Amino acid sequence: MSLKIEICASSAESAARAQEGGAYRVELCAGIPEGGTTPSWGEIMAARELLSTTRLHVIIRPRGGDFLYSPSEIGIMCRDIEAARKAGADGVVFGCLNRDGGVDMEAMQHLMEAARGMSVTFHRAFDMCRDPFQALEQIISLGCERILTSGQEATAEEGIPLLKELVDRAGERIIIMPGCGVRPSNIRKIALETHAREFHFSGRLPRESGMRYHNPRVSMGGVVHIDEYRIDVTAPEIVAAAVNEIRDLE
What is the percent of the chain with per-residue pLDDT over 70, rounded to a whole number? 98
Cα–Cα nearest to 29, from 234, 236, 237, 241 = 234
Rounded to an integer, what distance in angstroms lies between the CA atom of residue 141 and that of residue 154? 27
Rounded to an integer, what distance in angstroms lies between the CA atom of residue 213 and that of residue 181? 34
- Does pLDDT of 92 surpass 70? yes
Query: Under 8 Å CB-to-CB from 46, ≥6 apart: which residues?
Result: 12
Three-state secondary structure call for residue 164: helix
Q: Is the Cβ–Cβ distance between 26 and 234 less than 8 Å? A: no
Q: End-to-end CA distance of the chain, in Å?
A: 7
Residue 42 pLDDT grade (very low, low, confident, very high; cuts 50, 70, 90) = very high
- pLDDT tens figures, 96-148: 999 999 999 999 999 999 999 999 999 999 999 999 999 999 999 999 999 99
Q: How many CA atoms lie within 13 A of 246 on its CB side?
A: 29
